[in-house]
Amino acid sequence: MTASEFGLSVMYRILKKSGAERVSDESADELRRILEEIGIAIAKSAVDMSVHAGRKTVKAEDVRLAAKPFAKF
């Protein structure tokens, strides 16, 4: 198993803030895995957008545009 970029305690806090009374270890770990997959997909898309625009720097706008298919802002 590879190390995650996200801390498990953050996943517990997110689930608690979302209204969960209790959070299992498995649910926190699954949320972490899913968010990391989505984050990687968004990051790759944002990098592609910046390259397409002829920039080396990924801007916030690239990330927002890349995230649109995944969430409502």
Q: Residue 1 corresponds to which amino acid?
A: M
Top-level CATH class of 26-73? Answer: mainly alpha
- pTM for this entry: 0.85
Domain ranges within the chain, ordered by starting residue: 26-73
What pLDDT shows up at residue 29?
A: 97
28-47 exposure pattern, b = at least 16 Cβ within 10 A, e = fewer: beebbeebeeeeeebeebbe
Please, which pLDDT band fits residue 1 given cuts at 50, 70 and 90? low
Q: Say if residue 67's pLDDT is above 70.
A: yes
